[in-house]
Amino acid sequence: MTLLSLAGALLAGTLLAIASPLAPPPDDPATGAVGTVVRAATPPVLDGRLDDPAWAEAEPLTGFVQRVPREGSAASESTEIRILQDDEALWVGVWLWDSNPTGIVEGPAIRDSRLDDSDAILLIFDTFRDRQNGFVFGTNPSGIEYDGQVSDEGRGGGGMGAGGRTQGGAGGGFNLNWDGSWSVATSRDERGWYAEFRIPFSTLRYANAEEAVWGFNAMRRVRRLNEESFWAPIPRQFNLNRVSLAGELHGLTPPVRRQATVTPYLLQSARRDHALGEASYGFPTDLGADAKVQLTQGLTLDLTLNTDFAQVEVDDQQVNLSRFSLFFPEKRPFFLENAGAFRVGTGGTELFFSRRIGIDGGAPVPIDAGGRLSGRAGGFNVGLLHIRTGGTPGLEGVGLGEGAGDAFSVVRLARELPNRSQVGTYFAERRGLETEGTTNRTMAVDGQVGIGQGLTVGSFLATTDTPGLEGRDHAFHLNGSYQGNRFRSFATYREVGGAFNPEVGFVNRRDYRMLSGFAMTYHRPEAVSWLREYRPHASYSTFRSLETGFEQSARLHVDVHFELENGAFFSPAFDWVREGLVRPFPIAEGVTVAPGTYDGWTAAWRFNTDLSSPVSLDGGIDAGSFLSGERWGGFGTVAFRRGASATAALRMDHNRVRLAEGDFNVNLGSLRTGYFFTPRIYLQSLVQYSNQADTWSANVRFGWLDTAGTGLFVVLNTAQGFGTLEGPQARSVVVKYTRQFNALDW
């Protein structure tokens, strides 16, 4: 602990010394883009038509500037934004003029659908004007609700702009899984399309002020031109997440009041698990509730009782030909909201991974009760979490608390500093409720420094305490990255001890010292009309045992990304790979690779066609050396979409492995379909096949949404074995209804 305390003090002092001078003047917008919000005497009608008299009173925000393809040029199509407010909500009207309205691309009408492959408008509000965090709201011509939270300017600029979302439980960057309570309506005519947003102030968190100044920016995508333009200009290497470059909104008078909501649910199911020998279906009924209390304008308390996630889509099956653990993303709403408040770690070392709570070996464990406090207080980002699972003493009388369970506690405090900088501490504990000596703890300090607009340096130091586990129980990470207009690079050093055991986190491998580097250049040839950009890059990584110095693996990767004007992409790649085995590796049934060091070369080709087309293809092939032999592999997804109403995607993944110790094939297949009656009524299915697991499974979900992820859900799950596991395995039908009620408003 002495080393940890010393490192924390040094890290905090360094960050405070370096980062403080980097702040821009607090009341000077970075881009000069300034708008004024007007109070509406009579609020508009939310219909997407934008013909209410109130809109004529608002100030027009215009002058959008391209980020791509022609950085700094005026947008090809005109866009106008007007912003109003009343006592309850913020209203945003957007006029998206289009000289070719028949070329407008709609996109699927489902909440949080990818906006990369359709026309779209996205808004970001920096409600604390800290130039690092924000709320994002967006829609496409289909009228979907798209929302998310940005933290630390997207941690390097990735994520939202590419339709990405955070890793489950990791948070940070851009959290697409945050679902606020708000509304949007759209319409179209021969001049273009229009969007009308109503965003209640109760959905946002903001600083108290009689007249507030918020950061604001807006991005428009014209998909047929593959063009992005911004109200406050953004350099090509960044995206909407870069809130330090946002403009400002003046004239805001948000109300100073708080709200509490309660969201109960009622669930009826029919279940039968053949693997457990159940001879007939059971018909359990369940109920529970979530509550949300806004303690201050910046702090929110979330409570949950008998938490259920029946409406959540099942995991995608993955191929694993390595010795290391696979990462499955979090999909459960309670853990996804405000996930960024708990994030510490990166890549294969996440100190907080919420799938450790309520899931054991892929099977659900009942969550009896819990609470989370998250938000901002006194200049700190705060995250407190306590969850009890599968056997909480004292809850037996309400049908909970059966069997042995665990208590999970997490504390995260981070002090934000100017220019993407912060310093923080982290503590997590998993404690067995009925078994002595099963308490596991993780402690860490971390920090990040932003230098200018392009350079970022980050680090963390962590240790764990596990009874009966001896050895190196630390993890250390240091990375630096640079993101410029024509060049991008990063370098990373990380070491993880063999006894490092964060039981509320995720570690895909232990006992290693890793060094890696990456460099990419951007080239935009004007003479080739069909080629937008090509990006040659190279990377190298090596992993060596901390204990022995033995090289466990290494990889040299070289490739070139070619991006076409219509969004299509292809990339040839070459790799030199080394794998070092110190013990036999059972890679497949009946095939065990002998210890040794294996070197080899592989070649790969990745591509996708225009993903906004009614029919598109995304795939790749690779071949070359693999351990003691060779591997040939390929994957492909054929996607179909019919306007805003229907989608289908068929994916196949095949690996043919020929080793000195034996041969085998690995096959995965999936069919994902969706039919969207309206942006709030949908029917989706996912059918999957795996010859490794000897199963196929189906997940069918019908949803009729009310608001903020609540509504009526009907879910069918079935799994069928074949080969050695031939026959039915498990089947269930679940009907769940959940609704949000305002309990208090003060």
CB 603, CB 587: distance < 8 Å = no
Q: Work out the pLDDT band at 726, boundaries 50, 70, 90.
A: low
Q: Buried b / exposed e across 337-353, counting CB within 10 Å, b at 16+?
A: bbbbbbbbbbbbbbbbb
Q: Bridge partners of 608? A: 569, 618
Express each pLDDT in 560-603 by its tens digit.
999 999 999 999 999 999 999 999 999 999 999 999 999 999 99
Compute φ and ψ for 66, nearest 5 degrees: -70, 140
In 3-state terms, what secondary structure has residue 494? strand
Q: Is residue 614 part of a domain?
A: no
pLDDT of residue 610 exceeding 80, the answer is yes
Q: Which two tokens stand for residue 585?
A: 């590796």
How far apart, in whole angstroms, are the C-alpha atoms of residue 728 and residue 687?
A: 15
pLDDT of residue 27 exceeding 70, the answer is no
pLDDT of residue 6: 39
Number of Cα atoms under 13 Å in the Cβ half of residue 8: 15
Q: Is residue 433 part of a domain?
A: no
pLDDT of residue 308 exceeding 80, the answer is yes
What is the count of structural domains for the chain?
1
pLDDT of residue 163: 33
**CA gyration radius, the chain:** 26
Q: Which residue bears the tokens 């428009």?
A: 220
Structural domain boundaries, residue 161:
32-252
Q: What is the CATH number of the domain that holds 98?
A: 2.60.40.1190
Q: Is residue 122 part of a domain?
A: yes
Q: Is residue 131 part of a domain?
A: yes
pLDDT of residue 260: 93
pLDDT of residue 404: 62
**What average pLDDT score do residues 405-410 get?**
93
Express each pLDDT in 432-459 by its tens digit.
887 777 899 999 999 999 998 899 999 9
Question: What DSSP designation does 201 have?
Answer: G
Q: Work out the pLDDT band at 365, boundaries 50, 70, 90.
A: confident
pLDDT of residue 24 exceeding 50, the answer is no
pLDDT of residue 391: 57
Q: Is residue 239 part of a domain?
A: yes
Instruction: Give the CA distances from residue 317 to residues 57, 134, 330, 516, 669, in Å, rounded to whole numbers and listed in that order.
Output: 53, 33, 14, 28, 9
How far apart, in whole angstroms, are the C-alpha atoms of residue 279 and residue 285?
A: 19
**What average pLDDT score do residues 26-47 get?**
83
Instruction: Give the CA distances from residue 243 to residues 150, 217, 384, 531, in Å, rounded to whole numbers and listed in that order.
Output: 9, 8, 26, 30
> What percentage of the chain has pLDDT greater than the value 90?
70
pLDDT of residue 256: 86
pLDDT of residue 730: 85
pLDDT of residue 421 exceeding 70, the answer is yes
Listed residue (353, 319, 224) closest to 622, CA to CA: 319
pLDDT of residue 724: 54
How far apart, in whole angstroms, are the C-alpha atoms of residue 271 and residue 291?
A: 28
Return mean pLDDT, the chain.
88
pLDDT of residue 723: 61
Spacing of C-alpha 616 from chain mean position:
24
pTM over 0.95: no
Q: Is residue 378 part of a domain?
A: no
Express each pLDDT in 146-188 by its tens digit.
999 998 888 743 333 333 334 333 344 788 878 889 999 999 9
Q: Is residue 125 part of a domain?
A: yes
pLDDT of residue 405: 84
pLDDT of residue 372 exceeding 80, the answer is yes
CB 78, CB 97: distance < 8 Å = yes
pLDDT of residue 3: 42
pLDDT of residue 29: 60
pLDDT of residue 8 exceeding 70, the answer is no
Q: Bridge partners of 457? A: 449, 480
How far apart, in whole angstroms, are the C-alpha atoms of residue 683 and residue 705?
A: 12
pLDDT of residue 26 exceeding 60, the answer is no
The burial of 417, by beta-carbon neighbours within 10 Å (0-12 exposed, 13-18 middle, 19 or more buried), is given as: buried
Q: Which amino acid is at 677?
A: F
Higher model confidence: residue 487 or residue 722?
Answer: 487
pLDDT of residue 653: 96
**What average pLDDT score do residues 542-550 get?**
97
Q: Is residue 82 part of a domain?
A: yes
CB 351, CB 505: distance < 8 Å = yes
Strands 247-252 vs 34-36: parallel, antiparallel or unpaired: parallel
